[in-house]
C-alpha cells in the first residue's frame, strides 16, 4: 500500500508559479506510475500529467503542455508538479495518485489517492 500526501498549493496570481509535491509512504514507490489530477468546482476530474516508473514516459493534457512539468525522485518517494504561467482556469484541487501500471492515463488505473491540495489562481 501507499499513502500519498500532497503539499504546495496556495493562492497565486495569474502568471505565477507553484510547485506541488506528493510524498509517498509505503513500499515500492518506484514500481508505481504516478499521476496528478485536478478537479475544479462543477467539473469532472481530469488527468493533468502522468509519469512512468523510471520517468522515461510522460503524459500531459493539452491545456498544460509547455507550462507544467511532472517529475519524480524515487529515492525520496516523491513526485512533483512544477506549474508555471498559471492561469485562472488552473484553479482546482490537485491530487496525486499511484497506479500499478507504468504510465497510467485513465483514472480507473489508479489505486491510491492523496487528499488533494487547493490551487487558486486569481486574475
pLDDT tens digits along 45-80: 999 999 999 999 999 999 999 999 999 999 999 999
CB atoms within 10 A of CB 4: 23
99: Cα within 13 Å, side-chain hemisphere: 21
pLDDT at 73: 97
- pLDDT surpassing 90 at residue 7: yes
pLDDT at 49: 98
Report the distance separating Cα 36 and Cα 4, nearest Å. 12
Which stretch of DSSP H or E encloses residue 115?
none
Amino acid at each position: 500500500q501507499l499513502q500519498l500526501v500532497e503539499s504546495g498549493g496556495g493562492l497565486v496570481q495569474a502568471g505565477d508559479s507553484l510547485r506541488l509535491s506528493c510524498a509517498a509512504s509505503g513500499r515500492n514507490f518506484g514500481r508505481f506510475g504516478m499521476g496528478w489530477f485536478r478537479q475544479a468546482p462543477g467539473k469532472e476530474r481530469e488527468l493533468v500529467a502522468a509519469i512512468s516508473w523510471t520517468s522515461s514516459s510522460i503524459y500531459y493534457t493539452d491545456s498544460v503542455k509547455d507550462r507544467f512539468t511532472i517529475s519524480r525522485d524515487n529515492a525520496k518517494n516523491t513526485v512533483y508538479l512544477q506549474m508555471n504561467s498559471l492561469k485562472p482556469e488552473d484553479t482546482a484541487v490537485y491530487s496525486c495518485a499511484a497506479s500499478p501500471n507504468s504510465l497510467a492515463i485513465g483514472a480507473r488505473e489508479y489505486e491510491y489517492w492523496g487528499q488533494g491540495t487547493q490551487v487558486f489562481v486569481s486574475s
